[in-house]
């Protein structure tokens, strides 16, 4: 298996994860989670989103969170924005990068941001101008890249056309999002083999949801195709409030564990990351789907039972 030496993980739990939590999480607890992620060495964090507070009430404290986090040199602090108003707020709040959102399917885009795809692209042009003036890089995420919960299959040509318009308006990075976990490894490979050569110089990110337990297989497939940036969510938190059936992202510590076990570095301290996951379980008051936090890393060893030990000694 050919693997890169290093991959870059972007933690999205405090945005994609927290956004669906019904009980408001106090600002200081959101800040604590971001700070602990920074201390664990996470290189990129999508801290929050600058969207309409009525659309996502949980993240209405975006400015306050950005103002209170402790910035670790080496971590890039980004936020999700859907339009120019969000971009202006994000730039004022001092984000290091802007992550935008548009869907590859019309119905999901209308449900998510109340705009057609064409209207969204016009807004994102304005976002790119605001970000450009502030010297902030823009990474454009494309929701429902591998399937839509309303429309089903999303033709690759349709995805390609959205990506082409985003690249035209100046996106440096493109994030392909499997919003409701519909992608499978063969499809991921087909899509990447078509898109990567078509848009040279773009930094690609795969954003997965583990709705159908295919997130890590999809990530391994993308790795084999040359993608080295992956979004993940602490404990496997997450889901889109405007996509029925959406559940959590790939679990950050499970992904980091998998990569480290294969000798692929992330710069993240797994033990500290698992501790953050446990803290998030306390904050939201329920267990998270992450598996390594329950099983421990594969290096964990148990005492040999006495009966087995005596037979081993007997030779």
85 binds, among ligand COA, Zn ion, none (CB under 5 to 8 A by kind): ligand COA
Q: Of 236, 234, 231, nearest to 279 (Cα)? A: 234
Residue tagged active-site, from 10, 140, 148, 240: 240
Q: How far is the CB of 307 from ligand COA (least distance, A)?
A: 55
DSSP element (H, E) containing 46? strand 44-49
Strands (E) in 169-292, as ranges, are 173-177, 203-207, 229-232
**248, 287 contact by CB (below 8 A):** no
**104, 140 contact by CB (below 8 A):** no
55 binds, among ligand COA, Zn ion, none (CB under 5 to 8 A by kind): ligand COA
Q: How far is the CB of 55 from ligand COA (least distance, A)?
A: 4
Output 112-117 pairs: Cβ under 8 A, ≥24 positions apart. Answer: 112/82, 112/143, 112/240, 112/242, 112/243, 113/82, 113/83, 115/83, 117/162
62 vs 273, which CB is nearer to ligand COA? 62
Listed ranges 13-21, 187-195, 212-220, 284-292: which one lies at the site for Zn ion (CB under 5 A): 13-21
16 vs 210, which CB is nearer to Zn ion? 16
**253, 32 contact by CB (below 8 A):** no
The residue assigned the tokens 């042009």 is 125
Binding flag, residue 16, Zn ion (CB under 5 A): yes
Strands (E) in 52-137, as ranges, are 76-81, 97-103
C-alpha span between 307 and 213 (Å, rounded) = 38
Q: Which residues form the interface with ligand COA (CB under 6 A)?
A: 19, 49-52, 55-56, 82-83, 85-86, 89, 101, 112-114, 143, 240, 242
Q: How far is the CB of 156 from Zn ion (least distance, A)?
A: 20
Q: How far is CA 277 from CA 8, 76, 129, 299, in A?
A: 19, 20, 37, 19
41 vs 236, which CB is nearer to ligand COA? 236
Length of the chain: 315
Q: How far is the CB of 141 from Zn ion (least distance, A)?
A: 8
Q: How far is the CB of 31 from ligand COA (least distance, A)?
A: 20
DSSP class of 148: B
Q: How far is CA 141 from CA 39, 89, 291, in A?
A: 26, 19, 27
36 vs 89, which CB is nearer to ligand COA? 89
Is 240 annotated as catalytic? yes
46 vs 253, which CB is nearer to ligand COA? 46
Q: How far is the CB of 42 from Zn ion (least distance, A)?
A: 17
DSSP class of 14: I
146 vs 242, which CB is nearer to ligand COA? 242
User: Which chain residues interact with Zn ion by CB under 5 A?
Assistant: 16
Catalytic annotation, residues: 240
């Amino acid at each position: 298996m050919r693997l890169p030496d290093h991959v870059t993980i972007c933690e999205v739990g405090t945005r994609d994860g927290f956004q669906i939590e019904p009980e408001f999480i106090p600002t200081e607890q959101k800040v604590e989670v971001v700070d602990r992620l920074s201390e664990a060495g996470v290189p990129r964090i999508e801290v929050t989103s600058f969207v309409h507070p009525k659309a996502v009430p949980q993240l209405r404290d975006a400015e306050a969170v950005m103002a209170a986090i402790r910035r670790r040199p080496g971590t890039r602090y980004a936020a999700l924005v859907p339009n120019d108003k969000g971009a202006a707020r994000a730039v004022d709040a001092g984000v290091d990068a802007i992550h935008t959102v548009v869907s590859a399917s019309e119905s999901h885009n209308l449900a998510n941001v109340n705009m057609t795809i064409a209207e969204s692209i016009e807004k994102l042009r304005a976002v790119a101008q605001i970000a450009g003036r502030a010297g902030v890089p823009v990474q454009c995420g494309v929701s429902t890249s591998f399937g839509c919960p309303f429309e089903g299959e999303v033709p690759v040509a349709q995805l390609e056309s959205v990506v082409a318009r985003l690249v035209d308006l100046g996106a440096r990075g493109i994030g392909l999002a499997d919003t409701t976990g519909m992608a499978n490894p063969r499809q991921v490979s087909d899509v990447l083999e078509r898109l990567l050569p078509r848009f040279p110089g773009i930094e690609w990110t795969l954003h997965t949801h583990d709705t159908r337990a295919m997130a890590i297989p999809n990530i391994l497939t993308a790795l084999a195709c040359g993608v080295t940036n992956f979004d993940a969510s602490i404990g496997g938190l997450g889901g889109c409030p405007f996509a029925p059936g959406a559940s959590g992202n790939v679990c950050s510590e499970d992904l980091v564990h998998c990569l480290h076990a294969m000798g692929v570095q992330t710069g993240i301290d797994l033990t500290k990351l698992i501790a953050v996951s446990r803290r998030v379980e306390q904050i939201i008051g329920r267990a998270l789907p992450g598996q390594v936090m329950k099983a421990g890393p594969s290096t964990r060893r148990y005492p040999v039972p006495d009966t087995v030990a005596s037979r081993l000694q007997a030779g």
